[in-house]
Amino acid sequence: MDLEALLRRLEGVVAARVRYRNGEPEAIHLLVEGDPQESVQQVQALLMTALGKTMPPGTITTSPAGDRRWQRQRWQLVQVYWLWEKGQHEVVVEVRDGGQIFEGRAPAAAAGKAWSVAEATVQAVKQVLGREYARLHLAHLEEIQVAGVPAILVAVRTGLRHPQVFLGIAEGDAGSGEAVARATLDALNRLDG
């Protein structure tokens, strides 16, 4: 059964995303026109009819039909560069969201150049997302080999009520700031599906 397709048939539901765990719906997010509470009630009724169960409060969320996060294209890397200001060494990452460029900065960290680049990338995207994703953070960064090709693997974790981990990968090594930023954006671009 295509639960997302069923949800889109409900009155006022423009789009739906379902996150599963062990084959069962764990969270549902709806893009709605009209009363969000009515949409949530319709979803609960549909779930009871179709699956014989309901979902706990807070696992069905809504956004208004004009929510730009549903309409956005993937974030794109503009550039990565290093600054030395006031005795501090920091990395700056610029990310494009539609026609706007957002800048993220991070100090040169003891964890290394790659970690700083990834952190600055997260900071740039957090400016786009706003308060809802204030606890979004870099969880892991590793240089790996895939079929003999060097690659960067990044994990980004949300700090929302139901935390999730998003993975991103890009070809390159940890010495390439652009490869690290691309891997981080690959993970971050999975946030909204």
pTM over 0.75: no
Residue 89 within any structural domain of the chain: yes
Q: What is the dihedral of CA 68, 122, 165, 146, to 10 degrees?
A: 110
- The enclosing domain of 114 has a CATH number of 3.30.160.270
Q: How confident is the model at residue 162, as a pLDDT? A: 67
pLDDT above 60: residue 69 = no
What is the per-residue DSSP string for 106-158?
A: EEPPTT-HHHHHHHHHHHHHHHHH-GGGTT-EEEEEEEEEETTEEEEEEEEE-
The boundaries of the domain holding residue 65 are 3-69
Same-domain status, 97 and 142: yes
Average per-residue pLDDT for the chain: 85
Lowest mean pLDDT among 24-33, 82-91, 130-139: 130-139
Number of domains in the chain: 2
Taking the C-alpha atoms of residue 193 and residue 177, their distance in angstroms, rounded to an integer, is 25
Q: How confident is the model at residue 18, as a pLDDT? A: 83
Q: How confident is the model at residue 34, as a pLDDT? A: 83
Residue 193 within any structural domain of the chain: no
Q: How confident is the model at residue 2, as a pLDDT? A: 74
Most confident of 20-24, 130-134, 164-168: 164-168
The candidate with the shortest Cα–Cα distance to 69, out of 99, 96, 97, 94, is 97
Same-domain status, 10 and 62: yes
Q: How confident is the model at residue 180, as a pLDDT? A: 95
Q: How confident is the model at residue 193, as a pLDDT? A: 44
pLDDT, average across residues 119-142: 86
